[in-house]
Amino acid sequence: MQVTTVGLDLAKNVFHIHGVMEDGSVGFSRSLRRSQMFAFFERLEPCLIGMEACGASHYWARELTRLGHEVRLIAPVYVKPYVKRGKSDAADAEAICEAVTRPTMRFVEVKSPEQQAILSLHRARSLVVRQRTQTINMLRGLLAEFGIVFAQGVGHAVRFAKRTTQEQALDLPPVALDTIIDLSEQILALHGRVLWYGRKLTQAAKSEPRIDLLQTIPGIGPITASAIVATVGSAAQFKCGRDFSAWLGLTPINRSTGGKERLGRISKMGDRYIRHLMVVGMTSRMKQIKSAPERFDPWFADLLERKPAKLAAVAMANKTARIIWAVLTRNEPYRIRTV
């Protein structure tokens, strides 16, 4: 009797597989080392394979698909309810095998190597941005102990670092001055790396038509557009724009019961990085709307009058997410509606 479904629990070196036969009986439950994976699945008849979505899952999904299998990726949070008891690789593989067969299960689209390449740029850039912020905070803290304060913001920090490394006009003890100069040089180096990653992302964006389509949406630049396309692809896994917005965590939590609808704060579930980029982009757009409200949709101006700035930025990001879904699924540029 042929194995129809396999649950694969991924790891670094030792993987666990759980196979189910046509009649529902367990065909096998065993561990495989990385070097044994391809040989095992080459011998296995084509079947449905389920895996938890993670960094390495997209690679294995592409490789197993080439061998003729049907591979589906599941978010780990949707697998957890199917774990019967305890936490082990065998229990996780069994839970994945059960979850992948559910008719209402939601799956993650397999990323291409090109999508993962763009995401690697985003992750590296995010790391360097955090390091730059940490170094700036350290510099501000040390200078404050000597009564020296400069304005907040990356631009002011970079200008201060340039003056310090070029002029060295600070009235500080020699040891402290050497420390401040070294931190200033580190800030300038990190700032240069951030700019380099930004240029690489802009170049990568030119090779993907869908990124150009998203940039027709106001408030969406090359960095946000490339992050969205590299993460969700065509967005075909979402049934509607609200599903995409909910996946980003931009929709309110629903706690309705007894016919009474209660909506709370946004869920903040899903991709934190994209949600952050979108809220920052909408915050920047709010400044343009405040300076020239007549040039924008009246909905935005009315929202800014009624709601606090941060809440309005999230609401704008929520609406923009639905527009993004429509642009990706229809494969058409955004057109501003005229009355």
Contact (CB, 8 A) for 41 and 84: no
- Over residues 322-331, the pLDDT tens digits come to 999 999 999 8
> For the chain, what is the mean pLDDT?
90
Q: Which residue has the higher pLDDT, 34 or 303?
A: 34
- Top CATH class of 3-99 equals alpha beta
Q: What distance in Å separates the CA atoms of residue 211 and residue 201, rounded to the nearest whole number? A: 11
d(CA 108, CA 236): 10
Measuring CA to CA, how many Å separate 230 from each of 187, 268, 281, 324, 332? 29, 20, 18, 13, 18
- DSSP E strands: which ranges in the chain? 3-9, 14-21, 26-33, 48-52, 70-74, 252-254, 263-266
Residue 305 above 70 pLDDT? yes
Alpha helices in 67-146 (DSSP H): 76-79, 89-99, 113-144
Contact in structure between 6 and 18 (CB atoms under 8 Å):
yes
Cβ distance 5 to 20 under 8 Å?
A: yes
Cα Rg, the chain, nearest whole Å: 25
| The pair of three-digit structure tokens given for residue 42, joined into one six-digit string | 């080459």
265, HSE (Cβ side, Cα atoms, 13 Å) = 5
- pLDDT in the model for residue 55: 84
pLDDT by residue (tens digit) across 245-304? 999 999 888 887 777 777 778 888 888 999 999 999 888 888 777 777 666 677 777 777
pLDDT at residue 209 tops 70: yes
pLDDT value of residue 312: 86
Mean pLDDT of 63-79: 95
Write down the pLDDT at residue 293: 67
Task: Look at residue 335 in the predicted model and tell me its pLDDT.
Answer: 82
Written as six digits, the tokens of 89 are 């690789």
Answer for the pair 42, 22: CB distance below 8 angstroms, yes or no: no
Measured in Å, how far apart are the chain's first and last C-alpha atoms?
A: 64
Q: Determine the Cα–Cα distance for residues 275 and 321; give it in Å rounded to an integer.
A: 9
In this prediction, residue 236 carries a pLDDT of: 86
CA–CA separation, 286 vs 268, rounded Å? 21
Please write the tens of the pLDDT for every residue from 105-156: 999 999 999 999 999 999 999 999 999 999 999 999 999 999 998 889 999 9
How many CB atoms are located within 10 Å of the residue 271 CB?
A: 16
Q: Which of 52, 51, 50, 78 is nearest to 269 (CA)?
A: 78
- Please report the sign of the dihedral spanned by the C-alpha atoms of residue 205, residue 211, residue 214, residue 216: positive
Beta-strand relationship, 48-52 and 3-9: parallel
Tokens at residue 55, please?
A: 């960094």
What is the structure's pLDDT at 183?
96
Residue 332 and residue 328: Cα distance in Å, rounded? 7
What is the 8-class DSSP label of residue 33? E
Note whether 320 and 278 are within 8 A (CB).
Answer: yes
Inform me whether the pLDDT recorded for 77 exceeds 70: yes
d(CA 88, CA 14) in angstroms, rounded, equals: 13
Would you place residue 241 in the very low, low, confident or very high pLDDT band (cuts 50, 70, 90)? very high
CA angle 180, 186, 190 (to 5 degrees): 145
pTM here?
0.84
